[in-house]
Amino acid sequence: MSNTFGKIFTLTSFGESHGAAVGGVIDGFPAGIDIDLAFIQSELNRRRPGNAKVATARKEADEVELLSGIFEGKSTGTPIGFLVHNTSQLSSDYDHLQNLYRPSHADYTYDVKYGIRDHRGGGRSSARETIARVVAGAFAKLVLQKYGIEIIAYTSRIGEIRLESDFTGFKELQDSIKSNLVNCPDPVIAAQMEEYLAQLKEEGDSAGGIVSCLVRNVPAGLGEPVFDKLHARLGSAMLSINAAKGFEYGLGFDFAGRKGSEVNDEFVIDRASNQESGIKKECPDSWLLAPDSISTRTNFSGGIQGGISNGQDIYFRVAVKPIATIAKEQHTVTKAGEEVTLAARGRHDPCVIPRAIVVVEAMAAMTVLDMILLARK
């Protein structure tokens, strides 16, 4: 097992779906940061099932308890222990799955690796594991806010329904994605997605999709070549999320069909910077090395060149597979090698995406903060 994420800012997480609690320890968090507990809880609420139309019926309060590292409302630089109790689980719901390997789940591989497995609700491979990520990501965002760094993820595709182009302005994104259940910036597309998910629920089926993410105001100079390139760290973080199957940044796979003369990002002198004045006011002095006036005419690179941020917007996409749990009957085998059929009982999400948005943001926030702390001069 490797349950620690990061090098300087680290999250060590624990917890199974149907154990006593999920939680973690955040280490390397800077001292003296105001801890806005309401914000942290609100981030956690974003990953809760919000609407029966597109998500599961399991309703847990998921209230985070902070156990250490905070004194009189501020971080002290010591580790922050936290947990969320599991309250609504019914273990008996899973008795029939004890010796059975659900298709495209981690039941079989955990059994092979460990020789033992908490089968209730997926155990450690449950999406409840992401609770710790969201809490730690919320803490990371509290620091990034000081530097003016903003992160926003949104749904760009579910099934065959997708956005035409990737994204427009940041502020528009922020407003538009809140207006619908799938966090898609285009309201028309969003409505189609919602309709599609409702239909899949009806059918007992599930859909894959793509989450896009935009990180802006990252100063130039972030990233550790050669093996900890900024995009390699982001990619590893995203691919560690349940159901993630692909990662690309900038033009990504679309680079394959392009010529250098079309997609090289020419440098220009940016005489009227589009960055709001004062945004870097609180940045460490070392970040001022970057001449603000050098920009690029295009940003096919996705804000990263040679593994190091170049001061332009960083954007990337994460592909997720359809949720493996479906109500349709499937064939599978038992631990003992018998062939059986299986159909999920109860109600399950038809798509991981609506609840994965905040997880993608959390992993991006932790990655960027860790790289900032690594890069301090």
Q: Which stretch binds its own copies (CB under 8 A): 38-46, 47-55, 77-85, 175-183?
A: 77-85
Say if CB 118 and CB 176 are below 8 A apart.
no
Query: At closest approach, how far in Å is the CB of 254 from its own copies?
Result: 8
Both tokens assigned to 215: 């990180």
DSSP 302-366: TTEETTEE-SSPEEEEEEEPPPS--SS-EEEEBTTS-EEEE---S---S-SHHHHHHHHHHHHHH
> Which letter does DSSP use for residue 178 in this model?
T
Residue 349 touching its own copies (CB under 8 A): no
Residue 377: CB atoms within 10 Å? 8
| Crossing angle of helices 130-146 and 37-46, rounded to 10° | 130
- Asked if 121 is part of the footprint of its own copies (rule: CB under 8 A), the reply reads no
Question: Distances in Å between the alpha carbon of 176 and those of 16, 167, 168, 331?
Answer: 34, 11, 11, 42
Least Å from the CB of residue 280 to its own copies? 13
Where are the alpha helices (H) located in 17-169, listed in sequence order? 37-46, 107-114, 130-146
Q: In one letter, which amino acid is 251?
A: L
Amino acid at 174: Q
Nearer residue to its own copies within complex by CB, 45 or 332: 332
Q: Which stretch binds its own copies (CB under 8 A): 20-28, 47-55, 135-143, 164-172?
A: 20-28
By the 10 Å C-beta count (0-12 exposed, 13-18 middle, 19+ buried), 39 is classed as: middle
What's the one-letter identity of residue 192? Q
Could you say which of 165, 261, 274, 277 contacts its own copies (CB under 8 A)? Answer: 261
CA atoms of 25 and 27, how far apart (whole Å): 6
- Minimum Å gap between C-beta 175 and its own copies is 25
* Residue ranges in 323-342 that form contacts with its own copies under rule CB under 8 A: 323-326, 328, 330-333, 337, 339
Render the burial of 241-277: b for 16+ CB within 10 Å, e for the rest.
bbbbeebbbbbeeeeeeeeeeeeebeeeebeeeeeee
Chosen residue from 34, 53, 61, 65 binding its own copies by CB under 8 A: 65
* 206 lies in the site for its own copies, by CB under 8 A: yes
Q: Report the residue number, 52 or 294, with the smaller CB distance to its own copies.
A: 294
According to the binding rule CB under 8 A, does residue 301 interact with its own copies?
yes
Binder among 21, 163, 191, 283 for its own copies (CB under 8 A) = 21
**Mask of contacts with its own copies, 207-246, x by CB under 8 A?**
xxxx---------xxxxxxxxxx-xxx-xxx-xx----xx
DSSP 8-state code for residue 181: T
- Least gap, CB of 181 to its own copies (angstroms): 19
* Listed residue (338, 314, 17) closest to 166, CA to CA: 314
Structure tokens at 41: 């809880």
Q: Which of 176, 217, 310, 367 binds its own copies (CB under 8 A)?
A: 310
Binding mask 170-199 for its own copies (x = CB under 8 A): ------------------------------
The reply on whether position 137 binds its own copies by CB under 8 A is no
Nearer to its own copies, 175 or 340 (CB): 340
Nearer to its own copies, 71 or 90 (CB): 71
Query: Could you tell me the sign of the dihedral formed by the alpha carbons of 336, 338, 343, 349, in that order?
Result: positive
Number of residues that bind its own copies (CB under 8 A): 152
Q: 58, 81, 99, 191: which one contacts its own copies (CB under 8 A)? A: 81
CB of 35 to its own copies, least distance (A): 12
Binding segment for its own copies (CB under 8 A), chosen from 137-145, 263-271, 272-280, 354-362, is: 263-271
Q: Which two tokens stand for residue 50?
A: 């919000």
Interactions with its own copies, residue window 265-294 (CB under 8 A): 265-269, 284-285, 289-291, 293-294
Asked if 80 touches its own copies (CB under 8 A), the answer is yes
- 165 sits near its own copies (criterion: CB under 8 A): no
